[in-house]
């Protein structure tokens, strides 16, 4: 693909925005950690790790992007073509998700501070399902063939549906045992999760809808960037709010 200077800058700025958002959410939470009761620190610690891992991968994605597209024009005011010898590595995203998606679920369950056995029961279902979802998506993503892409997309949707089932059906009774003040926030959090996670399978579908070319690609990168900020940084801040409110209540 050939990117216009405006398209190049848009992707560049979005990727940099994600680095800043993830890195400083992590730093904020690190500084704020002592203000949380020890019981909820596990959730916030996991949130810090998730945002840190995301920042690391976005540094790499950013570098990969800068190496992959080049222009000869003075002042960068010309079209950007794909560089010789360096591709934009979309696979990084899957590496990131393999680590962070299970951890996002751990973060949610940890802040609920449920009874040990309930917690264990939820985690042994959610964590392997999340890892499986990502692992099944990867072969479809790197394959150039739409049939293979469709097949693995479908397989990956099974654990995805299962995760949503556990979160929206099985978790609901535990939510009713949460303090009143956080119940509404937690239910909003679930919707944020659904909304932001939904972006990824949609982006995965784009090549199958023949929505390719520079515009679709730029749109996808910006879409991923926004979804990643919502699904990790904003999500972490809401989890932090829940932990703060519960820390007050328990005191």
Cβ within 8 Å of residue 59, ≥6 positions away: 19
The binding track of 47-66 with respect to ligand RET, each residue x by CB under 6 A or -, is --------------------
Vertex 55: Cα angle to 54 and 57 (nearest 5):
65
Task: Assign 87 to helix, strand or coil.
Answer: coil
Considering only 9, 212, 215, 249, the residue that binds a second copy (CB under 8 A) is 9
Quote the CA–CA distance of 193 and 191 in Å, as a whole number: 5
Six-digit token pair at 19?
């680095």
Question: Minimal distance in Å, beta carbon 26 to a second copy?
Answer: 9
Give the one residue of 4, 33, 192, 201 binding a second copy; rule: CB under 8 A: 33
Stretch that binds ligand RET, among 38-46, 76-84, 113-121, 226-234 (CB under 6 A): 226-234
Distance between first and last Cα of the chain? 57
Minimum distance of a second copy from residue 43's CB (angstroms): 12
Closer to ligand RET at the Cβ: 52 or 137? 137
- Asked if residue 200 binds ligand RET (CB under 6 A), the reply is yes
Q: Which stretch binds ligand RET (CB under 6 A): 24-32, 132-140, 168-176, 214-222?
A: 132-140
Q: Which of 37, 49, 131, 151 binds a second copy (CB under 8 A)?
A: 49
| From candidates 71, 119, 146, 157, binder to a second copy by CB under 8 A | 71
Q: Which does 98 bind (CB under 5 to 8 A by kind): a second copy, ligand RET, none?
A: a second copy
| Tokens 């560089």 belong to residue | 83
Is 84 a binding residue for a second copy by CB under 8 A? The answer is yes
- The size of the interface with a second copy (CB under 8 A), counted in residues, is 57
224 sits near ligand RET (criterion: CB under 6 A): no
Nearer to a second copy, 47 or 122 (CB): 47
- Three-state secondary structure call for residue 69: strand
Q: What is the DSSP string of 2-59?
A: -B-HHHHHHHHHHHHHHHHHHHHHHHHHHHHGGGS-HHHHHHHHHHHHHHHHHHHHHH
Indicate whether 81 belongs to the interface with a second copy (CB under 8 A). yes
Burial class (CB in 10 A: 0-12, 13-18, 19+), 191: exposed
Distances (CA, A) of 73 to 6, 7, 77, 138, 218: 14, 15, 6, 36, 21
Specify the residue, 3 or 203, whose C-beta has the smaller distance to ligand RET: 203
List residues binding ligand RET (CB under 6 A): 97, 100-101, 104, 133-134, 137, 153, 156-157, 160, 197, 200-201, 204, 228, 231-232
């Amino acid at each position: 693909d050939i990117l216009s200077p405006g398209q190049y800058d848009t992707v560049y700025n979005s990727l940099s925005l994600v680095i800043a958002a993830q890195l400083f959410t992590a730093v904020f939470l690190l500084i704020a950690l002592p203000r949380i009761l020890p019981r909820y620190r596990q959730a916030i610690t996991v949130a810090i790790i998730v945002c840190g891992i995301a920042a690391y991968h976005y540094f790499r994605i950013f570098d990969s992007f800068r190496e992959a597209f080049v222009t000869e024009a003075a002042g960068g005011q010309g079209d950007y073509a794909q560089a010789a010898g360096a591709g934009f590595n979309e696979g990084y995203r899957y590496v990131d998700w393999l680590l962070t998606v299970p951890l996002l679920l751990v973060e949610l369950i940890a802040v609920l501070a449920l009874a040990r056995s309930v917690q264990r029961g939820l985690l042994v279902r959610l964590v392997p399902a999340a890892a499986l979802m990502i692992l099944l998506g990867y072969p479809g993503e790197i394959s150039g063939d739409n049939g293979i892409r469709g097949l693995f997309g479908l397989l990956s949707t099974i654990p995805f549906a299962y995760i949503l089932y556990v979160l929206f059906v099985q978790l609901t009774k535990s939510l009713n045992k949460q303090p009143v003040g956080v119940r509404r926030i937690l239910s909003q959090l679930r919707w944020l999760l659904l909304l932001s996670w939904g972006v990824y399978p949609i982006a995965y579908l784009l090549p199958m809808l023949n929505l390719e070319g520079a515009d679709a690609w730029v749109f996808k990168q910006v879409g991923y960037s926004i979804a990643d900020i919502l699904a990790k940084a904003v999500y972490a801040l809401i989890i932090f709010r829940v932990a703060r409110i519960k820390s007050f209540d328990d005191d």
